[in-house]
Amino acid sequence: MSRSVLVTGGNRGIGQAIAHELAAAGDNVAVTYRSGEPPAGLLGVPCDITDSTQVDAAFKQVEEAQGPVEVLVANAGITKDQLLALMSEDDFSSVLDTNLTGAFRVAKRAVRGMMRKRTGRIVLVSSVVGLMGSGGQVNYAASKAGLVGFGRSLAREIGSRGITVNIVAPGFIETAMTAALPEERQAEIKKNVPLGRYGSTEEIAKTVRFLTSDGAAYITGAVIPVDGGLGMGH
Ligand code: NDP
């Protein structure tokens, strides 16, 4: 049976690959977007996840079109990299507000319907740097590490209702975010990845698909690295 899925930030990059993967699996998939057009074949709902009124409106739109959200993928995220000494408080708090509090806003709204149905799947998109740390990214790494504590706590809170909460920790993936890095930095990164390459958005999408499948029914509170071995040992 097709499920009602919502992917935040599903209009491009990793989120779009996840949305297409779940749609290919037969689910009804909605994606949030802030500007431009949503990807063809998916239900686009306008939503800025830093605004809980917009989050509520987006969920209402999804509920009307395809029923209460049964699978939530909290993927939307931003970076505002800078060395700590030069980082403004706004650059710190806005990254936390989008990446961590944004996930809180959407998970809180999604859990309502999932608790009622006593079933649901939540996947949070974190990052290898949340576990390893990354110079110049104290805001981003803190937000991504925060998702681990958030997800594991939520997994404990709602596991008895048949809802799983898992965290995917991608390494360096071929997207606009990584293409923007200087060539030298890209070569340096690949040297440190045991598999010697960036990952693809499809490789993240397939992992998310598995975590939302029946085969993953007994997996909750897990951090699944999809990083070519970069963060091995966590
Ligand atoms: P992109 O920059 O390509 O896409 C980010 C997405 O998040 C866009 O859809 C964007 O929407 C959305 N978004 C950002 N802020 C908000 C907001 N306030 N409200 C709603 N949507 C928002 O990123 P990626 O696809 O590369 O990354 C996706 C996720 O994966 C992120 O959480 C990122 O941190 C994580 N990640 C990425 C890695 C990589 O190598 N690329 C590695 C590890 C983790 P809009 O189009 O409107 O801006």
Copy the structure tokens of residue 54.
């917009």
CA angle 220, 222, 223 (to 5 degrees): 150
Query: How many other CB atoms are there within 10 angstroms of residue 138's CB atom?
Result: 18
In terms of pTM, does the model score above 0.95?
yes
What gap in Å lies between CA 211 and CA 35, rounded to an integer? Answer: 29
The pLDDT averaged over each successive group of 10 residues in the chain (234 residues) is: 95 96 97 90 96 98 98 97 98 98 98 97 98 96 98 98 98 87 90 96 98 98 98 86
User: Domain count of the chain?
Assistant: 1
Lining residues, ligand 1, CB within 6 Å: 8-9, 11-15, 32-35, 47-50, 75-78, 98, 125, 127, 170, 172-173, 175-178
pLDDT value, residue 180: 84
Domain that holds residue 10: 4-172+201-226
Ligand 1: centre distance to CA 160 (Å): 31
Return the SS3 of 224: strand
Nearest to 72 by CA among 38, 22, 25, 118: 22
Residue 93 lies inside a defined structural domain of this protein: yes
If phi > 0 it is left, if psi is from -120 to 50 it is alpha, else beta; for residue 55 that is: alpha
Residue 218 lies inside a defined structural domain of this protein: yes
Mutate to test the pocket of ligand 1, among 12, 150, 185 (most ligand atoms within 8 A of CB): 12
Residue with tokens 């909605």: 30
The domain spanning residue 143 has which CATH number?
3.40.50.720
pLDDT value, residue 178: 82
The set of catalytic residues is 140
Q: What is the DSSP letter of 98?
A: I
Ligand 1: centre distance to CA 76 (Å): 4
Residue 234 lies inside a defined structural domain of this protein: no
pLDDT value, residue 35: 85
- Say if residues 31 and 215 touch (Cβ distance below 8 Å): no
Nearest to 205 by CA among 123, 87, 95: 123
pLDDT value, residue 1: 77
